[in-house]
Amino acid sequence: MIHGNLSKILLLTFFTTSLWGCGQKKQAPPVRQMLAPETPGLSGRQNEKNSYELLILNDPLKPFSAEEVFEELPPGVQVPAGFVFVPGKKYEAEYDKKQAAGPANIRGYFVSEREISVGEYAAFVEATGYVTEPERFGGSFVTAAGGQEPLFREGTSWLYPQGKKNGAGNSEQPAVHLTWNDALAYCRWAGGRLPSLQEWRHGIRTEAWPSGQLRLWCADWQLPPGTDQQRFVPDGGSQKIVPKPNGDTAAALPETSCDSTGFWLVLDVE
């Protein structure tokens, strides 16, 4: 584990440079090891503060192509409270050449009606004692005016989006200042997962995805040009794709966080 002010300065420089895929990546921190889960739905280990530290590099997804696409809900299956159903679809041509080759089917799924809120994340923290990465690091990044690089602000977190001096955030507001790892930890606790890039694009295309104002964490890694998705192995410098509200995408390290990125919870139709 990295300690000391010098290490913090180096990490800040690294995070700022790679924060939304806008610059050249510098040397990445060591690849973290995946440990066996000790709590149902949560991969990690219990630390001395009785909280859970997520140590994970990837999240398994349902097969991208499936025979049962669920264009309609199966008989007897109800939409869970607080979610909407995104019908599946069979696509005859390539749907996303960057991430998938060949004919693709999008399996129907449930997605939360909105970004996960501060209040919902608070319930997860209260139940598990989880401590987010920005809280352990001492702060997060906030959007700068004029399109400049995001600025690191000490004390910012999902609970204090503007810093502790400005008090706790509104419980109904989207939870931000969360890394990909923090978002995944919540999803596993809630019995769901993060959406794939294809699922999000399908939801936007069919206008079934609820409207949102923030960037969002998704499950997919940003693949280097010419990389076969099936053979890709992430390392400490690999980045996650971050879809934007306007339909574009960016990329960010799983350890980064900002006030402009939230996340949604997806449940599979069984």
pLDDT in tens, 21-79: 333 332 322 222 222 223 333 333 333 332 333 333 344 444 444 467 899 999 999 99
Question: What CA–CA distance (Å, rounded) separates 15 from 261?
Answer: 15
pLDDT tops 90 at residue 244: yes
H-state helical runs in the chain: 5-18, 118-128, 133-137, 180-189, 197-205
Burial bucket for residue 104 (CB in 10 Å: 0-12, 13-18, 19+): buried
Q: Which tokens go with 67?
A: 């025979």
Q: How confident is the model at residue 240 (pLDDT cuts 50, 70, 90)?
A: very high
151 and 142 in contact (C-beta within 8 Å)?
Answer: yes
Q: What is the pLDDT of residue 259?
A: 96
The β-bridge relationship of strands 52-53 and 45-46 is antiparallel
Q: How many domains does the chain have?
A: 1
pLDDT in tens, 121-169: 999 999 999 999 999 999 999 988 877 888 999 999 999 999 998 999 9
Q: What is the pLDDT of residue 92?
A: 62
Q: How confident is the model at residue 191 (pLDDT cuts 50, 70, 90)?
A: very high
Q: How confident is the model at residue 267 (pLDDT cuts 50, 70, 90)?
A: very high
196 and 219 in contact (C-beta within 8 Å)?
Answer: yes
Q: What are phi and psi of 185, to 5 degrees?
A: -60, -45
More confident residue, 213 or 111: 111
Question: What CA–CA distance (Å, rounded) separates 84 from 69?
Answer: 16
pLDDT in tens, 7-34: 444 444 444 444 543 333 323 222 222 2
- The CATH number of whichever domain residue 190 belongs to comes to 3.90.1580
pLDDT tops 50 at residue 4: no
Q: How confident is the model at residue 224 (pLDDT cuts 50, 70, 90)?
A: confident
Mean pLDDT taken over the chain:
77
Residues 6+ apart with CB under 8 A from 242: 20, 21, 215, 216, 217, 218, 249, 250, 251, 252, 261
* Phi-psi group of 226: left, alpha or beta (phi > 0 → left; psi -120 to 50 → alpha; rest → beta): left
Q: Which tokens go with 38?
A: 């000790």
- The DSSP string of 55-124 is --S------SS-S---SSPPTT--PPTTEEEE--EEEEEES-TTT--SEEEEPPEEEESSSPBHHHHHHH
Helix axes 118-128, 180-189, angle to 10 degrees: 70
Question: What CA–CA distance (Å, rounded) separates 55 from 187?
Answer: 15
* AA identity, residue 62: K
Q: What is the pLDDT of residue 230?
A: 80
Residue numbers of the domain that contains 241 = 5-268
